[in-house]
Structure 1
């Protein structure tokens, strides 16, 4: 665990929809500068857990503490200022420019019906520069590549000046090079002191960017710890139901995870 500021603590959390409990007994903590990677098969509860962390769904039991305070007592606006959400890259319905998309990240900082001011535009420009996509500012968001859209969504989140990022499969549908670029940005942002929780379907990505890994199976934690200790052939086979090889690539290079076909 990092010795830096504790940003997020999840205590014995149960989560779900209405009367249906999707997961229970989940607990972990996240400090500033840490990346926690959430792994689990489809339907295990990752998205529902994320919605609960973001305050979009009320906790069924347990607590979500943000910077030591019970987030259930916070307004939606205050929570949005502390935790930003980065969805999978998508094509928007309207032809906004990249600059306009990033500026939308300032919504949590504005009063109702207020227009973005000089500070909001400055924050958006800074986020564009920070992600290295200022050259795309006037491009139409729907016309740029998937990797560029994902970087724009991260910039949009950063424009709101959050302490925490929750990222739902940020490398999904990206090519090999763009996956590496996004993972590199995640590691760099953590190095600046942000806390990051992300999900992925590629266990190998955890070796590249995560400090710790949480394994989620049937809505419960099946493992929690550093990637090297938590991601093993046995744990992945229990998680996904198929034999998996974990191949170390050498000091500092992480490991590759691949299913073993019959």
Structure 2
């Protein structure tokens, strides 16, 4: 890994207008690393992501990519470097999956330019890399939730970014589709992408994350490897419930089980 972090947040404060949602958040993300952000509703995860993406200005501190302050970057440059993967959703118009993925090339095109042969080739490669090339001609609104989520990942990859920001990419997916999406996240990191994702399931941190950041009331409560960060005590402080973190024999990871009162 490079000595210079791909993404770095330094003493970051974020919020809306005069309302500060979070402050003094600092972390670094290397290329090829998955950072999992855990936190309850209202802890500031989405607002933090919007600030990293440049959709909201930092209220204090700064966001760096390759050591450069992105506040000085154009929107186009930022969009070519950092791609956003939202939660799966149903589009309003009956685009094909191929057309949805091709939309990811927008950051690489000149204003009002139409996608060319090279852009179509990149979109097809993104579909193939996720094993969903067969979905290309299907209507996006008619495929399953898991397939839509993978299509959104392919759309992000079509922009050829170096960093993926993923807001609860497994939300509303069934168990099998969750595993499939998490496996693809690990594969993308192995290919050299930096990935930061949020989730409400601490088990996902053990499955795909290199490091975990716990966000509580807009502050970082902990940051480190899953085995050191996701503990019964830290989850109790984070969510206000008792949780047993049970090691799996021979697996090198643990699972989290809530303890009912």
Q: Equivalences for 1:23-34 in 2 at 5 Å?
A: 23-34=22-33
SS at match of 2:6: strand
State the shift of 1:240 in Å: 0.3
C-alpha change, 1:34 and 1:214, in structure 2 (3 Å) is: same
Q: Which residue of 2 aligns with 1:194?
A: 193
State the shift of 1:4 in Å: 6.2
Q: Which residue of 2 aligns with 1:86?
A: 85
SS at match of 1:43: coil
Contact 1:5 1:32 in 2 (8 A): no
**Divergent runs of 4+, >6 A:** none
- TM norm structure 1: 0.98
Q: Which residue of 2 aligns with 1:51?
A: 50
SS at match of 1:171: coil
SS at match of 2:164: strand
Question: What is the rounded CA distance, in whole Å, between the counterparts of 2:18 and 2:129 in structure 1?
Answer: 43
Name structure 1 gaps, 5 residues minimum: none
Q: Equivalences for 1:146-225 in 2 at 5 Å?
A: 146-225=145-224
Name structure 2 gaps, 5 residues minimum: none
Q: Which residue of 2 aligns with 1:239?
A: 238
State the shift of 1:6 in Å: 2.0
RMSD (Å), alpha carbons: 0.9
Question: What is the rounded CA distance, in whole Å, between the counterparts of 1:261 and 1:71 in structure 2?
Answer: 45
Contact 1:14 1:60 in 2 (8 A): yes
State the shift of 1:125 in Å: 0.4
Contact 2:168 2:200 in 1 (8 A): yes
Q: Does 1:140 align with 2:139?
A: yes
* 148-157 or 251-260, larger mean C-alpha shift: 251-260
SS at match of 1:52: helix
SS at match of 1:33: coil
Aligned residues: 261
Q: Which residue of 2 aligns with 1:251?
A: 250
State the shift of 1:248 in Å: 1.1
Question: What is the rounded CA distance, in whole Å, between the counterparts of 2:32 and 2:215 in structure 1?
Answer: 22
- Deviation sequence 1:219-240 (CA, Å, 0-9, x none): 0000000000000000000000
Contact 1:208 1:253 in 2 (8 A): no
Contact 2:85 2:167 in 1 (8 A): yes
- Deviation sequence 1:177-216 (CA, Å, 0-9, x none): 1000000000000000000000000000000100000000
State the shift of 1:252 in Å: 3.3
SS at match of 1:187: helix
Question: What is the rounded CA distance, in whole Å, between the counterparts of 1:252 and 1:32 in structure 2?
Answer: 25
Contact 2:4 2:67 in 1 (8 A): no
